[in-house]
Structure 1
C-alpha cells in the first residue's frame, strides 16, 4: 500500500507550516504531499487565513526533491479552465514533473459567498466541471505546434496555442473521486488515472470501486489502468494516551475516529489498511489535521510503513 500525507490548510496553517509538513513527508518516506483546495475553514475561524493551493504547491515544488505534489481536490468553481491548465503545467515544470491533478466540481457554498465566487446549482456546476476537465486535458495533450479548440455550453476555446506544456507527457496524472455515480463514473472512465474514495467505510469504498469498474468496462478500457485510492483521517500513537491526546488536539473523540478513520496503535492501523487493500485500493491518503505535530507523521513512517511490505 502506497501512503501519502494529505492536509487541510484552510483550517489554519501558514505556508511555512505546510512546507514543514511537506519536508517531513519527503524525509520520512511517504510518496506524496497533498492538500485540500478550500478558502474557508470548517468549524473554526481558520486564522491566519487560507492559502491558495497552487501558489503554495509552486513554492513547495522548489523546496522539495522527490515527493509527489497535488490537490484533493482543486475546485472547478475557483478558476477558469485555461488559466488553471497554465498554472498546473507551470508547477509541474517547477517540480520537475511531480504534480498530480486532483479535480472536482466544488461543493462548499459558504466559501464561495465569503470570497465573492459564483456558486451555481449542482447541475450547472457539474456541467462546468465536465467541460473544464475536457479543456484542461485537451490543452495539455495537444502536440507542440498545434492549436486546440473547444466549444461547449459553458466554455469556448478558440485556436489556443495550448501552452505551456507540463513536464510530464502527455500530462500530469488526473485524480477524480466521489460516489462513482453515473456521470462521475463515466468521466473517470474517460479521464482519470486514479479514482479516490474519501472518508468512506470499507464496504462503501468497495461499492464505489465496483461502479467505476463497470463504467470502465463499458468504455472498453482496461480496468488495470486505473489506480484506486482512499482517503482517511489518521490519529496514531504508541499508546492510548498518545492517541487520546492527538484526538483531543483536532477536536475529535477516539471512539468516533476508530469508527471513521485510521486510529490507534500501529497494529490497529495496519489491520485497517489491510481491509482497504481488500477493496482494490493500492494507495491511501492519510489526512493529518494537526499540522504542527510532525512527530505524528514520523511515528507513522517508522511504525506503520515497515509493516506494509
Structure 2
C-alpha cells in the first residue's frame, strides 16, 4: 500500500501458495478482498505439487491461467508470480502468455522469474529438471526482453545454448513498456548481476533477517557496475505473515498453518500488529521498500483485514 506524499512508505503485497490446496474461487475471493483493502498487489507462486504432508485437494491451479482470470475479476490491484520457473515454459510461449495477461488486465502484470528448484514436482509432472538451470534463466530473460522490445514490423532471432528462435515477430506486445520483471533469488554473485541487467525489482524470498542488508549491498554494487543507478531498483522481501490481535489469536493462526509461534517470530512477520510494525521498521532500515506477505491460509480474510487496519497505516 503506497500512500502518495509520504516518504519511505512500505508497499504491502499479498502472496499465496495455491499448490498447498486452493481453488480459483478461493484465490479470487482473496485477491478481490486485497484489492478492496488497498493492498498494492496480489501475487502467487508457480507450482503444481503440494509441499509437505497434507491433503492436496482440490489440486493445483496454473499460475498464468489464474492471473488471466484475476485480470478480468479485479480492476486495480497489480498481479504477478513469485516466481515462475524457467523450466516450466518455453520463453517464446511465456512471452505471449505474459503479454496477453498484461493486456487483459489493462497493464497490471509483473513477471517474477527464477530457475526452479522443486525436483519432485518436475518428476511428478514429467518436466525436465536439468542439474544446471541458471543458463536457462539467463537466456529466458534475454529472449523475453528481446521479444517485447522488437520494433513493430521487425523480427527477433536468438541462438543460444538452450533456445533458438528464428524470425519471431515479437507479438503480442505488453501494455506496459517495459513490463516490470522481478528477479528473485538469494545467490551472492550471479543473481545480483541478473537483477542489475534485467530487473525492475530484486526479491529475497524467506531469507534470514541478518542476510537481507548485506545482500542488498551486493545487488546495489552490481547495479553500479552495470551503469545503473541503484535507486532504480525496488528491493523487496517475501516473508510468511501470521498476525493476531492478541497472543491467543496469533497462536490459533499459527496452529492452522502448522507452525510454532516462536519459530514464526524468528523467521517471519508474526505476532501482534505492534510486533509486526517493529519488524517492518527493521526491514526499512535494511533498505526494503516492498514486502510480500505470504498468506498460507487463503480463506483467512480476517487476517489481511487486520493487517490493513492496524499495520499498514503505521508503515
Task: Choose from 191, 215, 222 the match for 2:229.
Answer: 222
Secondary structure of the equivalent of 1:209?
helix
Secondary structure of the equivalent of 2:224?
helix
CA-based RMSD: 0.8
Query: What is the aligned partner in structure 2 of residue 128 from structure 1?
Result: 136
Task: Choose from 32, 52, 56 the match for 2:62.
Answer: 52
Report whether the alignment pairs 1:35 with 2:36. no
Query: What is the aligned partner in structure 1 of residue 174 from structure 2?
Result: 166
Report whether the alignment pairs 1:299 with 2:299. no
CA distance in 2, matches of 1:291, 1:182: 35
> Where do 1:248-263 residues align within 5 Å?
248-263=255-270
User: Which aligned segments of 4 or more residues in structure 1 are displaced greater than 6 angstroms?
Assistant: none
CA distance in 1, matches of 2:184, 2:137: 13
How far 1:141 moved relative to its partner? Answer: 1.3
Task: Choose from 10, 16, 23 the match for 1:14.
Answer: 23
CA distance in 2, matches of 1:256, 1:116: 35
Output one character per residue of 1:44-94: Cα deviation in whole Å (capped at 9) or x when no partner.
342111100000000011000000000000001000000000000000000
CA distance in 2, matches of 1:218, 1:287: 32
Task: Choose from 176, 186, 195 the match for 2:202.
Answer: 195
Task: Choose from 247, 270, 291 the match for 2:277.
Answer: 270
Task: Choose from 290, 293, 303 the match for 1:283.
Answer: 290
Output one character per residue of 1:13-65: Cα deviation in whole Å (capped at 9) or x when no partner.
00000000100110011000000000101113421111000000000110000
The answer (yes or no) to whether the contact 1:180–1:209 under 8 Å persists in 2 is: no
Query: What is the aligned partner in structure 2 of residue 142 from structure 1?
Result: 150
Task: Choose from 254, 270, 275 the match for 1:247.
Answer: 254
Q: How many residues align?
A: 305
TM-score, reference length from structure 2: 0.95
How far 1:181 moved relative to its partner? Answer: 2.2
Task: Choose from 4, 10, 13 the match for 1:4.
Answer: 13
The answer (yes or no) to whether the contact 1:19–1:60 under 8 Å persists in 2 is: yes
CA distance in 2, matches of 1:46, 1:172: 33
How far 1:143 moved relative to its partner? Answer: 1.7
Secondary structure of the equivalent of 2:278?
helix
The answer (yes or no) to whether the contact 2:209–2:267 under 8 Å persists in 1 is: no
Secondary structure of the equivalent of 2:165?
strand
Report whether the alignment pairs 1:237 with 2:270. no
TM-score, reference length from structure 1: 0.97
CA distance in 1, matches of 2:188, 2:270: 29
The answer (yes or no) to whether the contact 1:14–1:48 under 8 Å persists in 2 is: yes
